[in-house]
Structure 1
Amino acid sequence: MKLLRYGAPGAEKPAMIDDSGTLRDLSDHISDLDGSQLSDETLAKLAALDPASLPAVEGSPRIGPCVGNIGKFMCIGLNYSDHAAETGASIPDHPILFMKANSAIVGPNDTVVMPRGSTKTDWEVELGVVIGKTAKYVKKEDALDHVAGYCVVNDVSERHYQKHLSGNWTKGKSCDTFGPTGPWMVTRDEIPDPQALDMTLDVNGKRMQTGNTGTMIFTVAEIIEHLSHLFTLHPGDVIATGTPPGVGLGMKPPTFLKDGDVMELNIAGLGTQKQTVKADD
């Protein structure tokens, strides 16, 4: 299933996409697509519905973040060997973890606003993993059983804030609008191998990033195993699993976003995001 949320910010409603691409409202069956509704049992009940019996959503509403009330928004840094190389970083021995403030989360096509004075705002297409079942001390062999589904994430990053404002990476990752998520969550039964997904990102129609999740240093299962031994993963938590090469920071010379730029991201089977960049007044 492709599950999503539509409507004005803060008032999104749950929906699914049927085989014809029609948006079907799920409000009569679940209150929202959040951690309380991501269990295997609930997802099985939704999968059993006849999409034709669900109200079709008229028009072209805004698409919101595909998961509501996200608990922890966790990100893995330098998780592609070729991306680590382009930034001059060493291959990590363990997954590098940083957190992204939940206030950064926006819809997949919402405007990305560069903070005042920003000159080094960058793009990063990433595979997002949505936790559906509580995970504590899980083994990698069982880790994917704790996943509700997968989505596209743009881990927008302000590199000066990230590297030069002291402290950890969170400062450069958590600016408002720096976490476009969606357009939808694809349930894990439709993604049999999360390590075999092509991914791309264009800026103004020019291909910047081309990659495949098969080149991750740490797989999705290994990331879940590692994190679940540090703290409990709860339903509705989201993990952004790292980005392939082609970010602006790695270019020679480095190239960053500017007012009016348009980013378009795609991961095979998970849909497309498109954001216009705006400089904050």
Structure 2
Amino acid sequence: MKLASYTKDGTPGFGIVTEAGIIPLNGRLDGITSLQELIENDGFDAAQAVTDGATLDPADVTFTIPVGQPEKIWCIGVNYGNRNAEYKDGSDLPKYPSLFVRSRQSFVGHGVPLERPRVSEQLDYEGEIALVIGKGGRDISRESALDHVFGMTLCNEGTIRDWLRHGKFNVTQGKNFDRSGAIGPWIVTADELDPEAELSLETRVNGEVRQKDTTANMMFPFDVLISYLSSFATLSPGDIIVTGTPTGAGARFDPPVWLKPGDVVEVEVPGIGILSNGVADQETNNA
């Protein structure tokens, strides 16, 4: 099942994505008013029972990130083996995942432009697979970790590269610019696409393939990430884990190739779909 969040004529909605369109779930599930509440309240079976109703054309809605207010968005750095070599620092493969957190405000939904900020032209793309936690927990074993996955979605973990170097030991600034990344277009539930399967990931800029790899090359697979994160923090339903990007980001070109207004970035995983976003300059100071 594919589940999406959106707005239509300014009103929030959520629904099941089918070939015929989106079946709205607003008002059809007892006590559940959003996709986030569906996940938090174990509403999968109730949603799956909805098989009919008028559909919306996806072109008539504005997609938002599937989980509107996740408690935590964890992001994993340098998780594909060839990305470690890409740094050309001679380092051994890491023993533990690198990670940082991002705010909800740093992401937009499918079809909404990424924002290049006033203070930098170094907006870069990073195509990734994101896990959505369905069943929370602490000290989750690797053996049971994938039982905690509600489903998967896609992420363009947009980054302002020069701001990554503002701090000596952190990348928080460059990873949290408002509207610099995207998540979506929907969540594919774990019963439809097995998180244990080998998945192919491709990122394109203006139709040109920039990143291409498979989850078989991850240094820390999904089950390891869930177990590791839960060893120090309780995972909650609706939490998002952005699992790492392959080699080929714009920063690694010589000279670097940054995103600019008018560019279109597509992140694709067969079985999930395509996350597509244009690029625009920051227009207003929202202070």
Pairwise TM-score range, normalised by the shorter structure: over 0.9
Q: CA deviation at 1:9?
A: 9.9
Q: Who is 1:57 aligned against?
A: 56
Q: Which of the residues 257, 260, 271 maps onto 1:258?
A: 260
Moved more, 4-13 or 226-235: 4-13
Q: Who is 1:44 aligned against?
A: 45
SS in 1 for 2:246: coil
Q: Who is 1:13 aligned against?
A: 13
Structure-1 separation of matches of 2:245 and 2:169? 22
Aligned length: 277
Q: Who is 1:231 aligned against?
A: 233
SS in 1 for 2:201: strand
**TM-aligned CA distance change 1:9 to 1:110, over 3 Å:** farther
Structure-2 separation of matches of 1:171 and 1:11? 32
Q: Who is 1:72 aligned against?
A: 72
Q: CA deviation at 1:181?
A: 0.8
Q: Who is 1:176 aligned against?
A: 178
Structure-1 separation of matches of 2:266 and 2:8? 22
Moved more, 54-63 or 24-33: 54-63
What is the percent sequence identity of the aligned residues?
Answer: 34
* Paired letter, 1:24: I
User: Is residue 146–residue 196 contact of structure 2 (8 Å, CA) maintained in 1?
Assistant: no
Aligned pairs for 1:128-143 (under 5 A) are 128-143=130-145
Structure 2 residue ranges without an equivalent (≥5): none
* Paired letter, 2:63: I
Q: Who is 1:218 aligned against?
A: 220
Q: Which of the residues 120, 123, 128 maps onto 2:122?
A: 120
* Paired letter, 2:203: L
Aligned pairs for 1:16-31 (under 5 A) are 16-18=16-18, 20-28=19-27, 29=29, 30-31=32-33
Q: CA deviation at 1:11?
A: 4.2
User: Is residue 127–residue 153 contact of structure 1 (8 Å, CA) maintained in 2?
Assistant: yes
Structure-2 separation of matches of 1:39 and 1:234? 8
* Paired letter, 2:64: G
Structure-1 separation of matches of 2:269 and 2:13? 24
* Paired letter, 2:21: T
Structure 2 length as normaliser, TM-score? 0.91
Structure-1 separation of matches of 2:177 and 2:228? 27
Structure 1 length as normaliser, TM-score? 0.93
SS in 2 for 1:128: strand
SS in 1 for 2:209: strand
Moved more, 25-34 or 255-264: 255-264
Q: CA deviation at 1:167?
A: 4.8
Structure-2 separation of matches of 1:9 and 1:185? 22
Structure-1 separation of matches of 2:188 and 2:62? 18
Q: Who is 2:191 aligned against?
A: 189
Q: Who is 1:277 aligned against?
A: 279
